[in-house]
Amino acid sequence: MASVSHAARLDQVSGADSRELDQVCEEVAAALYAEGTEPPFRVGSADFAADPQLICADRYWRLRFLDRPSVRTAAACSTWLVGHVARDHRTEVLEKWSLGYAFITKDSVESGQELSQALEAIVGQDTPGADTAYFTTLYQAGKHRANFWFDELHQFLDSSPLALAAGSHRRSPLFTALRSFAAFGSRVVTADHAISLLDEAWHSPDRTRHVVDICLNGIQAATPFDGAAALLRDRAAEAVRDHPRDHIFHFRLASGQHLAGQLDDALASIDAALRHLPAQGSRGSHKLLQEQYLARRDAILHSRQRARLDVEHEERLRAQDERHRIHWEQLQTELRGRADAQERAHRESQEQARANHVRSVELVAVFTSAIAFAVGSLQVSLSGDFSLRDRLLLIGVWGVAHVVFALLIVGGTWLITRPRDRS
């Protein structure tokens, strides 16, 4: 009768507002957990926002995992899921529950010995056993992923008996995406191998939203490699096109754009992530995500401010270089002008000195001729028996000879020292 009343309450609240829906689902889940009764109703959708049966079952199993965060609880959850969730929506619920419950219980990772002890009870020989092994493998792997234990995740997926028991599920795109996540973070696995696993999961026709999320998470958390920023940006942009209201994908896109230096686009993307972030959630902490997004936004704003300052600094350096270039050219011109002026002054000084020297030579020549003329004239006048007429004629000839001599000296000096065209 209690089960009937619980189901009736959920049926009655299906059209109510979100707060009443949340309260009723929480109360029914708590009552079922207190009674030790698994949800008796079937789930016909994967709508975690409006389907009361799914929301209630989700809250119930959340309580179970928080109480006993083990692969045994995961096995029980998987068995219930196979028996109560419609096949068309089973994959979505399975991926969301296994990874989501792993996140909220990431502080309780079971050892290999504990897994081995639980394995016999979990895995059978029929198909449901492989399905259960797959769910529990995702749950255990999700804890490694949430803790960023890349090498442990790689080892668990490759060699754990529990992971090997998942059988054909090991070829699922989600399993491959987890292997890609482990490879991206490992320092012993090459980035090329990680990218090949990423591409295999990404291009699978069975790719789901959770596959995309793990792939992007792996790129963002990867050990740095060439092209990581562009790869994250491009794949996240594709994810946003497919899921335009998914806040996680907007956040991944903002991270890729930030790393690629597209700061304005990154700011728009992180604002979109904050806008689409729901007010609350049963698995993830709204406050934790909001703080993470705001921290990224602050980092983007800081990068924008730093880039702006860098541009201003570069502009100041270019302006300073230009001023130095102009000043240097002016200085060179001034120095060349000074050198030309000094050369002209030196040349003029040399020409003036040469002219002075010529004048001196000419003056000496004229003075010498005058003295010689005077001496010669005196001798002619005071000696010999020449008549006055002969004496005057002789003095005239003597004077003409000395004038010619002086003219020859002056003319020769001018001819030798005259300015010449240097061209």
Average pLDDT score over the chain: 85
Burial zone of 394 (CB within 10 Å; 0-12 exposed, 13-18 middle, 19+ buried): middle
Instruction: Output DSSP code: residue 85.
Output: B
Of 409 and 251, which is predicted with more confidence? 251
- Say what the pLDDT of residue 65 is: 96
Residue 150 one-letter amino acid = F
Three-state DSSP at 207 gives: coil
- Say what the pLDDT of residue 333 is: 83
- Does the residue 259 lie in any domain? no
Rounded to 10 deg, the angle between the 209-220 and 87-104 helix axes is 30
Instruction: Name the residue range of residue 422's domain.
Output: 358-423
pTM: 0.73
- Does the residue 325 lie in any domain? no
Q: What is the mean pLDDT of residues 150-169?
A: 93
Condensed to tens digits (0 to 9), the pLDDT of residues 351-398 reads 776 666 666 666 666 666 667 666 666 665 556 566 667 667 766 776
Structure tokens at 223: 């050990």
- Say what the pLDDT of residue 376 is: 61
Condensed to tens digits (0 to 9), the pLDDT of residues 170-213 reads 999 999 999 999 999 998 899 999 999 999 999 999 999 999 99
- Does the residue 416 lie in any domain? yes
- Say what the pLDDT of residue 1 is: 45
Distance of CA 45 to the CA centre of its chain: 42
Q: At residue 126, does pLDDT exceed 60?
A: no
- Does the residue 274 lie in any domain? no
- Does the residue 48 lie in any domain? no
* Alpha helices by DSSP H, 87-126: 87-104, 112-122
Domain count for the chain: 1
Which of 10-19, 106-115, 161-170, 389-398 is the least confident region? 389-398
- Does the residue 404 lie in any domain? yes
Q: At residue 109, does pLDDT exceed 70?
A: yes
Percent of the chain past pLDDT 90, that is, above it, reads 55
- Does the residue 240 lie in any domain? no
- Does the residue 411 lie in any domain? yes
Q: What is the mean pLDDT of residues 255-261?
A: 96
Inter-residue contact 283 to 103 (CB < 8 Å): yes
Distance of CA 196 to the CA centre of its chain: 23
